[in-house]
Amino acid sequence: AQSVTQLDSHVSVSEGTPVLLRCNYSSSYSPSLFWYVQHPNKGLQLLLKYTSAATLVKGINGFEAEFKKSETSFHLTKPSAHMSDAAEYFCVVSPFSGGYNKLIFGAGTRLAVHP
Amino acid sequence: GAVVSQHPSRVICKSGTSVKIECRSLDFQATTMFWYRQFPKQSLMLMATSNEGSKATYEQGVEKDKFLINHASLTLSTLTVTSAHPEDSSFYICSASLLRTGDQETQYFGPGTRLLVL
């Protein structure tokens, strides 16, 4: 069975400090993995996507994520948080890399950024 | 690129009325469109998947007669909440995947529609 676990429901950081949002997945196949961000009362914006190419994926707004198969993890990081990064972040798995299939969403991590 | 719009962004209606929500892919053709529902402080729940010109596939527990989905073209899908009741109040989000090989699994999301049924 496929599943996604976001290890922290809330993360709070100070502006200018690093961000780490943790995600572990379970998949019987070679999955594709995504991080999406959702600002209040908005839809989801794609931050980055892993599809079995380079294990370190760079996304928009300075975010990046590293796929670690041995740890079944896909943690999202950013070297320096900005106030505008405060939002809800979803780790998402597509069980089969390539082609259409249902996405599996994590429960979300709410990131707060303090001045 | 890959912009998805929804209309309306917010709607308030009386109990018993029907509400239609439109989802459009603005700069691409969408193989498949998806409808999600999101409750406050929760993740997205997939309601149904629709392909242009065919009937939607509903997730278990979603009433197909209550949530009517029409996918008339490669750029437009509509969700109609029929005989809406207060428990249907929610944030509805659509997404679309591109009509091209190699990237069908990425979904691009609309901005969402906030429905409040009084």
Task: Quick: pLDDT tens for A56-78.
Answer: 999 999 999 999 989 999 999 99
Quickly count: other Cβ atoms within 10 Å of residue A19's Cβ.
Answer: 19
* Residue B106 pLDDT: 85
Q: Looking at the predicted structure, is the pLDDT value of residue A52 above 80?
A: no
Query: A108 CA to chain B: closest CA distance, Å?
Result: 6
- Higher pLDDT: A27 or A25? It is A25
Instruction: Answer yes or no: do A32 and B44 touch at CB < 8 A.
Output: no
Q: Which of residues 58-87 of B touch A (CB under 8 A)?
A: none
Identify whether the C-beta of residue A107 lies closer than 8 Å to the C-beta of residue A88: no
The per-residue pLDDT for range B93-116, each reduced to its tens digit, is 999 988 665 677 788 999 999 999
CA distance A111 to B67: 33
Match 């509805």 to its residue by tokens. B92
* Chain B contact present for A2, CB below 8 A: no
Q: Of B32, B43, B111, which has the smallest distance from its Cβ to A43's Cβ?
A: B111
Q: Looking at the predicted structure, is the pLDDT value of residue A53 above 80?
A: no
CA distance A107 to B110: 19
Q: Looking at the predicted structure, is the pLDDT value of residue A96 above 70?
A: no
Q: Of A42, A99, A106, which has the smallest distance from its Cβ to B43's Cβ?
A: A106
CA distance B91 to B113: 6
Chains A, B: CB contacts within 8 A come to 52
Q: Looking at the predicted structure, is the pLDDT value of residue A99 above 90?
A: no
Q: Which of residues 47-76 of A touch B (CB under 8 A)?
A: 49
Q: Looking at the predicted structure, is the pLDDT value of residue A54 above 90?
A: no
A94 contacts in chain B (CB < 8 Å): 105
The per-residue pLDDT for range B58-102, each reduced to its tens digit, is 999 999 999 999 988 889 999 999 999 999 999 999 999 886 656
Long-range contacts of A50-59 (CB under 8 A, 24+ apart): A50/A74, A51/A97, A51/A98, A52/A97, A59/A35
CA distance A98 to B95: 17
Q: Looking at the predicted structure, is the pLDDT value of residue A100 above 90?
A: no
Instruction: Answer yes or no: do B44 and A105 touch at CB < 8 A.
Output: yes
* Chain A contact present for B107, CB below 8 A: yes
Q: Of B91, B102, B105, which has the smallest distance from its Cβ to A94's Cβ?
A: B105
